Every structure is written in structure tokens, then in C-alpha cells.
Amino acid sequence: MAPRWRHAGRVELSQYVARLQHELLAVAEAGGGEVRAVAERLVAPLDSAVRLVIIEVLTEAFDTITTEIAPGSVHLRLRGRDPDVVVTPPPAERPASGPAAQQAAPAVDDGDGPVARINFRPPESLKVRIEEAAARERLSVNAWLVRATSAAVDGRAAAGPAPTGRHRFSGWVG
């Protein structure tokens, strides 16, 4: 049986960090030798901060993509200093047959517009169970709710657990 997910690839951040460092030094050059010397002392320590910001941006983008392709998902796993992208496609739709399929209503085009917010107020005990389920699947609560809701609305069984990894950032960064 083939895995439910696939490794889409490693994102090499070093080239982007080096490019940003180069650009900062080029800008500092306009300030003269003293400014350039200060910039040279500052760009190396920025490596970790720049990587973290890039990872936060990718995580937020992947959460948005996950919302759009639910119950599929796109996640970021941290392998060493660079992230890996893991894609979990939605389950393949099997064509329905029989009288029930013939009577099914056509799909409604809801515009698939931008992400919307809703206010969801579950009882505390349900909130705790949702958080535990999301943690078991290594998803943000938002991604887990989108996946579960999409599966329920579409009349499918909820997608299984997401692939696990040593380190992964998921959820909204604020």
C-alpha cells in the first residue's frame, strides 16, 4: 500500500539567507566603510533569525493552502536547519454508482474565495478533545478543524493522521 503522503522536497534556505546578507551589505556600502564594517558584524548573527522568519512565512502559507485543499494538507517539517515540505493529497474520489448516486445533488460552486473566519465556541471538554486530536495528528487546531469539517460536510470519513516527523511547525504564528 502506497503512503498517504509524499515528501515534496527540501527547501534549501542557505541561498536565500546568503542573498539577503549580500543585499544588506550592498546597502551598507552606500554608508561608507564604517557602516559596512558594522553591517558585516551584524549579518552573520542574522542567519537564525532570517531562517525563522522564512519558516514562519512558509508555515502560514501552507496553512492557507491546507485550508483550500482540505481534507488534504501541506506541512513543513524541520530537518536540521532546512524545512522539508510534506504533501498529503485529499483522498481520491471514487465514482459513485447506483440509484443514490443518480439522485445526488450537483456540487454547488461556493466561489472558493478567500479564507473566512468563524467564531466557534465548543464546550471546554470538546475543545480539549479537539486539541488532543490535532496534536495526535501533528496538525494545528485550525488545520484539523478544516480537515474534519470538510470531510463531514462532503460526507466522507475524516482523513487519517498526518505523517509524523521529528520537528514540524504547524499552525498560525502570531
User: Got the DSSP string for 95-133?
Assistant: PP-SHHHHHSPPPP-----S---------HHHHHHHHHH
- The pLDDT, as a whole number, for residue 27 is 92
Does 38 map to a domain? yes
Q: pLDDT grade, residue 131 (50/70/90)? A: confident
Asked if residue 123 has pLDDT above 60, the reply is: yes
Spell 60-99 as b/e; 16+ CB within 10 A means b. eebbeebbebbbbbbbbbeeeeebbbbbbebeeeeeeeee
Q: What is the dihedral of CA 174, 112, 143, 57, to 10 degrees?
A: -40
Alpha-carbon gap, residue 123 to 116, rounded angstroms: 22
- The pLDDT, as a whole number, for residue 114 is 65
Q: Would you state the cell numbers that stand for residue 98, as one nine-digit string?
A: 447506483
Does 155 map to a domain? yes
Does 106 map to a domain? no
Distance spanning both ends of the chain, measured CA to CA: 39
Q: pTM for this structure?
A: 0.49
Measure Cα distances from 16 to 13, 22, 103 in Å.
Answer: 5, 10, 53
Q: pLDDT grade, residue 4 (50/70/90)? A: low
Mean pLDDT of the chain: 75
For residue 163, give the nearest of 80, 92, 82, 75 by alpha carbon.
75
Does 100 map to a domain? no
Mean pLDDT of all residues in 116-142: 84
Mean pLDDT of all residues in 117-146: 84
Domain assignment of residue 51, given as a range: 6-92+117-169
- The total of structural domains in the chain comes to 1
Least confident of 2-16, 68-82, 85-99, 128-142: 85-99
Does 34 map to a domain? yes
User: Which amino acid is located at 166 in the chain?
Assistant: R
- The pLDDT, as a whole number, for residue 25 is 92
Alpha-carbon gap, residue 130 to 144, rounded angstroms: 8
Does 124 map to a domain? yes
For residue 71, give the nearest of 57, 99, 96, 92 by alpha carbon.
92
Does 164 map to a domain? yes
Does 98 map to a domain? no
